[in-house]
Structure formats: structure tokens, C-alpha cells
Structure 1
């Protein structure tokens, strides 16, 4: 008799979704954050931006903005867009 049934077979298919944000990077330096993002998403354009800067509102799946405070620490979770 087989154990597990169809639900067990589908369990691996629902693994982690593609990463689109990095909340764990808040408080890190911009260089550490850029390195981690590029490890997770090679080829993405990582832009370091002051937290209070004005930026365009367009959505770009090839871009991640890293907003930093005056001490070059990540101020909020970077995400694709």
C-alpha cells in the first residue's frame, strides 16, 4: 500500500515563492544589503537611495531600491519594483 497520497506529492511543489523583498536586511549597511540581494537575484539592478529621496513610482521587476538612513544603514525592507 502506498502512503502519503496525492497531498504528500504536492508538498514539495509549494516550496518558497520567488523572493521579492528582504526585511531581514533592515539595519545592515548598504554594501551588505547589495551583496545579499545580488546573491538572491543575480542580474537585478540594486539602487542605493537616501530614505527621504524622491523616486519614480514606476514598477520595474529588474530593480531593487535600498533606502538607507544617514548612517548608510538600510532604513526599510528593500523590495523589487
Structure 2
């Protein structure tokens, strides 16, 4: 049974930079991508990636979707 963290609901509303730092601390084994929501979800599924999404035009870069592995 894997105990590696796969979701970060607590990061909603954080800045993307702070969220990336937290995810890197929790899971240094994954690549982190920061993307606007309009970019869509990348395919195919990648168990070594976490995407952090922010609202287009949000100069604060706040996390808008729960970051998940994939």
C-alpha cells in the first residue's frame, strides 16, 4: 500500500509558487507544472507529474483546482 501523497486540497487559494514548494517538499519525486486553467489537462496520464492550475488573468496566480498526481 502506497503512502505517497496524491492530492493537495489544502493548497486551494495558495499562490502557485507556495503550492509548488509544498508539493516539492511532500513529493520531491514528481515534476511540477504551473498552468492556466485554459491550457486544459495534459495527456496522457503521468504518475510522475503534478499540475498546479490558476485562473487565467489572475495576476496573483492563486491555485484554482486541487493539485493531483497525474
**1:24-79: CA deviations, max 9, x gaps?**
00000011000000000013110000012134221111100000122300001000
SS at match of 2:6: coil
- After TM superposition, the score normalised by the length of structure 1 is 0.74
Runs of 4 or more, structure 1, over 3 Å off, are: none
Structure 1 residue runs of 5 or longer lacking an equivalent are: 1-13
Instruction: Go from structure 1 to structure 2 and tell me whether the alpha carbon gap of 1:45 and 1:28 turns closer, same or farther (over 3 Å shift).
Output: same
Which one has a bigger Cα radius of gyration?
1
Tell me the matched-pair count. Answer: 67
- Residues 12-51 of structure 1 aligned to structure 2 (within 5 Å): 17-51=3-37
The aligned residue for residue 79 of structure 1 is: 68
The aligned residue for residue 50 of structure 2 is: 64
Structure showing greater relative contact order (alpha-carbon pairs closer than 8 Å, 6 or more residues apart): 2
SS at match of 2:18: helix
